[in-house]
Amino acid sequence: MSQIALPYFAKGEVVKGFGRGSRELGCPTANYPEDVVKKLPNEIECGVYFGVASVDKGEVHDMVLSIGYNPFYNGTVRTMETHVLHTFENDFYGKELRVVLLGFIRPQIKFNSLEEFKQKLREDIAYASNELQKPEYVKYKNDSFFTD
């Protein structure tokens, strides 16, 4: 994965996904529409990333983001699914989600079980939370991208 493509800034309207993040994984995700996914540079490969995100120019939170085809579910459409590390009172379909991808965690994996998948998600979130404490990443929470 080319680090040259990072940080990568993306924004778009949150659309309904498959509903598996909340229902099956206990990890709600905000999905971008296809046009946002198609704008990704070729250097940004399928995998799990960490960064920061904001809904409707609100508070900036840490996040993890999956880019790819959801191999556990035999997906055929490339998606960008963001898990914001914050508990929201309501869903935010139709709202604008802004994200900054700052680092790569791992490539996509086809897991053998739902429990294995859920465990890896917990590890990804812990890794992201730790990395995002570093000064070189914390500064992005105040980036003008989130307020312009």
Cα separations (Å) of 37 from 24, 44, 48, 61, 121? 23, 11, 14, 21, 21
Phi, psi (rounded to 5 degrees) for 23: -70, -50
Residue 147 falls inside a structural domain: no
Strand partners, 81: 31, 66
22 has a pLDDT exceeding 90: no
Report, as residue numbers or ranges, the catalytic residues: 81
- Side-by-side strand order, sheet with 8-13: 8-13, 96-106, 47-55, 60-68, 79-84, 30-31
Residue 103 falls inside a structural domain: yes
Say what the pLDDT of residue 24 is.
Answer: 60
Cα–Cα distance between 63 and 132 in angstroms, integer?
A: 9
Work out how many domains the chain is built from and give that number: 1
Say what the pLDDT of residue 145 is.
Answer: 98
Cα–Cα distance between 59 and 95 in angstroms, integer?
A: 14
Indicate the pTM of the whole model.
0.91
Cα–Cα distance between 91 and 80 in angstroms, integer?
A: 17
């990072």: which residue's tokens?
6
> What is the CATH classification number for the domain harbouring 29?
2.40.30.30
Residue 71 belongs to domain spanning:
3-137
pLDDT tens by residue, 42-97: 899 999 999 999 999 999 999 999 999 976 777 788 999 999 999 888 888 999 99
pLDDT tens by residue, 87-137: 888 888 999 999 999 999 999 988 899 899 889 999 999 999 999 999 999
